[in-house]
């Protein structure tokens, strides 16, 4: 199976607006694995793993976010399976603590 793993940084008004919960819901609905977390600098970081087209679609969704958010910038880069292992054991997709 062809698989993509991308790490994404989202900047804007993305904390305190349900962004992480929205990402978790969208990722699970898309059959993706990975995680999402807030960062102390006010950004949201996420990692998505799965079929390349589903990962690309998820990154595109992140550019819009939930209705109460304001996304200013989204960057992504290829990641490794090691970063995927940050999720909680037994979960396909995790909401992780702030770093």
- In tens, the pLDDT along 12-26 reads 999 999 999 999 999
Known catalytic membership, residue 20: yes
Rounded Cα distance between 72 and 91, Å, is: 30
Q: Which of the following is catalytic: 2, 13, 37, 38?
A: 38
- In tens, the pLDDT along 3-13 reads 999 999 999 99
Question: For position 1, what pLDDT does the model report?
Answer: 58
Parallel, antiparallel or unpaired: strands 33-38 and 93-95: parallel
Question: What residues does each domain of the chain span?
Answer: 4-86
Of the CATH numbers 2.40.30.10, 3.30.70.100, 3.40.50.880, 3.40.50.1820, which one belongs to the domain with range 4-86?
A: 3.30.70.100
Task: Average the pLDDT over 61-79 and give the result.
Answer: 97
CB proximity list for 73: less than 8 A, separation 6 or greater: 9, 10, 11, 12
Known catalytic membership, residue 11: no
Q: Which of the following is catalytic: 11, 20, 40, 88?
A: 20
Binned at pLDDT 50, 70 and 90, residue 39 comes out as very high
Alpha helices of the chain — where are they, by DSSP H? Answer: 19-29, 52-62, 81-84
Question: For position 84, what pLDDT does the model report?
Answer: 94
Computed on alpha carbons and rounded to an integer, the radius of gyration of the chain in Å comes to 12
């Amino acid at each position: 199976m062809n698989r993509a793993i991308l790490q994404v940084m989202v900047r804007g008004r993305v904390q305190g607006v349900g962004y992480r919960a929205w990402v978790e819901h969208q990722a699970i609905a898309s059959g993706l694995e990975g995680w999402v977390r807030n960062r102390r600098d006010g950004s949201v970081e996420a990692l998505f793993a799965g079929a390349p087209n589903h990962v690309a679609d998820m990154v595109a969704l992140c550019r819009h976010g939930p209705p109460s958010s304001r996304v200013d910038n989204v960057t992504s880069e290829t990641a490794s399976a090691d970063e995927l292992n940050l999720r909680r054991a037994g979960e396909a997709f995790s909401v992780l603590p702030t770093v």
